[in-house]
Amino acid sequence: MFEILVLQAHTGHMTHIREMFEHTGYRIITKNELNLNTKWDVMWHHEYSFTQEPFKTLIKNASPNQIVNHVPGSGYYTSKVQLATSDLAVGVPQAFQLPEKKEKLLEYAEKNSNVLWVQKDNTHRNIKIKSIDDMDLSKNNSFVQKFVDNPLLIDNRFCPEDYHPFDTTNVDKYVVGDDYTPVWEIKSLENYFTNQKLSFKSTLDSYLGIQGKDSTKIWKQTRNIIGEVFRTQQTKMLMNLQSLNLKPKYFELSRFDFVVDEELNVFLMEANMSPNLSSGHFKQNQILYEKVLMNIFSLTGISSQLTRESDQSFKSRVPDQNPLVNSRDINLPFKFCVEGKCESCDEAPECQLCGHCMSNEMRKTLEETYLEHNNRSQMRRIEFDYENHQPLTKEDHLLTLWLGTKCQIDHTWC
């Protein structure tokens, strides 16, 4: 029997999560049934688990086979203030943290009097365009950000009301809330989404293609921005992870919210921890959320095509006899390996990728990467920009080299 811990499983935003775990064969344990001796396989907690009891102690005592749905340090990219003021090279509208950057904001605003501004904080509530004079520039843990005033519009709307004629006092024209206009209610998308039953992405691709616009520009920027978010926060997240010194497997299901302008430039608005997966407002979204959960279950190993007993049986075999992943799957024909340039494993750091030099830790990393690739379903790996930035760690360098060679051998790795 698989077991899972769920907090607030009775509330609407956890309904599909609970149902999908039950479909997969898990038994649900709610917070009220928990104690420190409870046996569990997966912990799915809506809030950040590492600071709240009893979850904090349960994670501290967990084994490498147990799975937690949060990553230590994820707050470094899900915090609205941290993200907006992190000086990403691309994809975030100009922002000024308050009150620290008040003077710089005033100086910039004076030189750019045509710019519209919004003030935000970590709650991301009550967003409204205001003049600098009407803002509380002494408010702690908040920031002021440029408003993207030329959004890509389809039938003049995405929010509850038409965008034009524009009115800064009417937030229903430009603030996306629960009552946004869904795809199936946008007339210009009806042929693609409703009649031809294309996916959300293919619907937008088709519409933009008819307009003579190349939608691949959007998706390339989206991938690059997400990669840059994690690259810039990697040091802080690693330090947080190392300070906790915990053993279980981690993953984080996050939602990144973007705005696209009429030139197809992409801007990141926020990243959400534990995004709402409830279809209570729009029933049509149920299958979307179920597919997201099926994909993340497969990628992380929460669900498998094998029974638990078969999976454990394969993993208990000697490494080269495991059909799920073995040495022949991860050992690659690097030139420096096959030409004998790494007879001494200390010859170069890259020699750690040769079969006879590979450490157990590196082998485990590559095995997990291989399994994630095979189990990814519709998930796709995001790459860091290592053409313009150096890998942070030796392990990053070796993994990037290994992935690049995998791509050369098999295009599905690209």
DSSP for 148-202 reads --SB--BTTBSSSS-SSS--TT-GGGT---TT---GGG-GGGHIIIIIS---HHH
Residue 363, sorted as left (phi over 0), alpha (psi -120 to 50) or beta, turns out to be: alpha
Asked whether residue 113 falls in the same domain as residue 187, the answer is yes
Q: How far is CA 6 from the centre of its chain?
A: 21
| 3 state SS for 342-396 | CCCCCCCHHHHHCCCCCCHHHHHHHHHHHHHHHCCCCCCCCCCCCCCCCCCCHHH
Last residue of a domain, one of 300, 330, 360: 300
Q: In the prediction, which pLDDT does 6 show?
A: 58
The verdict on residue 393 lying in a domain is yes
Asked whether residue 389 falls in the same domain as residue 341, the answer is yes
- Strands 254-260 and 129-130, bridge-based pairing: unpaired
Tens-place pLDDT, residues 179-219: 899 999 999 999 999 999 999 999 999 999 999 999 999 99
DSSP for residue 333: -
How many domains is the chain partitioned into structurally?
3
Task: Tell me which residue has tokens 């992190």.
Answer: 86
Asked whether residue 250 falls in the same domain as residue 209, the answer is no
Count of C-beta atoms within a 10 Å radius of residue 117: 22
Last residue of a domain, one of 272, 300, 328: 300
Rounded CA-CA distance 407/120 in Å is: 42
Q: H or E element: which one contains 288? A: helix 286-300
Q: In the prediction, which pLDDT does 85 show?
A: 82
Task: Tell me which residue has tokens 């007993």.
Answer: 309
The verdict on residue 305 lying in a domain is no
Asked whether residue 193 falls in the same domain as residue 248, the answer is no
Tens-place pLDDT, residues 126-167: 799 999 999 999 999 889 999 999 999 999 998 999 999 999
Asked whether residue 193 falls in the same domain as residue 144, the answer is yes
Q: In the prediction, which pLDDT does 152 show?
A: 97
Q: Tokens standing for 177?
A: 């809330």
Q: In the prediction, which pLDDT does 87 show?
A: 75
Domain, as residue range, for 35: 2-77+230-300
Last residue of a domain, one of 214, 238, 266: 214
Asked whether residue 19 falls in the same domain as residue 48, the answer is yes
Rounded CA-CA distance 174/225 in Å is: 23
Q: Tokens standing for 290?
A: 């179920």
Rounded CA-CA distance 288/219 in Å is: 19
- Strands 42-44 and 67-68, bridge-based pairing: parallel
The verdict on residue 124 lying in a domain is yes
| Listed residue (151, 153, 159, 146) closest to 92, CA to CA | 146
| Listed residue (413, 386, 382) closest to 400, CA to CA | 386
Asked whether residue 242 falls in the same domain as residue 174, the answer is no
| Listed residue (371, 400, 223, 384) closest to 299, CA to CA | 371
Count of C-beta atoms within a 10 Å radius of residue 197: 9
Identity at 326, one-letter amino acid code: N
Asked whether residue 240 falls in the same domain as residue 351, the answer is no
Identity at 311, one-letter amino acid code: D
Collect all residues with Cβ–Cβ distance below 8 Å to 255 and sequence separation of at least 6: 271, 272, 275
Asked whether residue 238 falls in the same domain as residue 350, the answer is no
The verdict on residue 84 lying in a domain is no
CATH number of the domain to which 46 belongs: 3.40.50
| 3 state SS for 144-160 | EEECCCCECCECCECCC
The verdict on residue 313 lying in a domain is no
The verdict on residue 195 lying in a domain is yes
Asked whether residue 206 falls in the same domain as residue 116, the answer is yes
Tens-place pLDDT, residues 49-67: 999 889 999 999 999 999 9
The verdict on residue 251 lying in a domain is yes
CB 242 within 8 A of CB 249: no
Asked whether residue 330 falls in the same domain as residue 399, the answer is yes
The verdict on residue 50 lying in a domain is yes
Backbone φ and ψ for 329, nearest 5 degrees, come out as: -85, -30
Q: In the prediction, which pLDDT does 63 show?
A: 94
Q: Which residues of the chain have pLDDT under 50?
A: 1, 8-10
- What's the CA angle centered on 385, arms 383 and 391, to 5 degrees? 95
Asked whether residue 289 falls in the same domain as residue 326, the answer is no
Q: In the prediction, which pLDDT does 178 show?
A: 84
Q: In the prediction, which pLDDT does 1 show?
A: 42
